[in-house]
Amino acid sequence: MNAPEGTRLNKFIGESGFCSRREADKLIEQGRVTINGLRPELGTKVQVGDKVEVDGNPIAASAENKSDRVYIAYNKPIGITCTTERHIEGNIIDAIGHNERIFPIGRLDKPSEGLILLTSDGDIVNKILRAENAHDKEYVVEVNRPLTEHFIKKMASGVPILNTVTKPCVVTMQSKMVFRMVLTQGLNRQIRRMCEYLDYEVVKLKRTRIMSIRLAGLKSGQWRDLTEDEMLEINTAVADSSKTASN
């Protein structure tokens, strides 16, 4: 009889809610993880009954239906940094003060504000980031001088930044110096870099939507649990991401 297939160690730790898979890989490389008292290699699989520990602290397997996981939407204020590093002043974890160990899905620049998702489900973080182009994100942006038709057309058709050209997207003018933008890309500081290329400076940038998840009346600094419908959409969006995953 063949031995059970098991679960990759980084996935096991991620699903437990201890940290993301990427962070789990770092812990394994640092020799801080043991299985049944032994230090494993990257890629080792956890079998039923195995005892997994990080720094000597036991890691419990996730509930089969993930009923023990936390998924929240947070209206991030300007000045909050999307990091789990607690020694960094103004980190998002201390700002929220949740009683569960959570981490952000993606990021939102420190000078930016608005919607960001956080979770205790390290496995779904990786799936969402891998499937990033499968969902859209909406932003409201104020710039430092009046908008032109040329600017709107260029932002929508694509701008050369970071050794590539941004993908076509939907851009609409809201007022004299404010526009709305829907992205399916997530390049580093993308909107700010695009504006800079066209000689504009971002004065205010707010993310208002991720897929169908909206701020929904959340005041700056407030958070709420995701609804069943919102979770269904997320799980549908990432359903195929594991098939192309290398880990």
Which amino acids are annotated catalytic? 109
* Mutual angle of helices 9-16 and 122-130, in 10-degree steps: 110
Bridge partners of residue 173, in order along the sequence:
179
Strand order in the sheet with 57-58: 33-35, 52-54, 57-58
Place of tokens 């971002």: 202
∠ Cα 111 209 155 (to 5°): 70
Runs of H (alpha helix) within the chain: 9-16, 21-29, 92-96, 122-130, 149-157, 190-197, 228-237
Give the whole-angstrom CA distance, residue 132 versus residue 143: 26
Give the whole-angstrom CA distance, residue 124 versus residue 137: 18
Place of tokens 């695009």: 194
How many CA atoms lie within 13 Å of 123's alpha carbon, on the beta-carbon side?
19
Q: What is the token pair recorded at 105?
A: 């899905």
Whether the Cβ atoms of residue 55 and residue 202 lie closer than 8 Å to each other: no
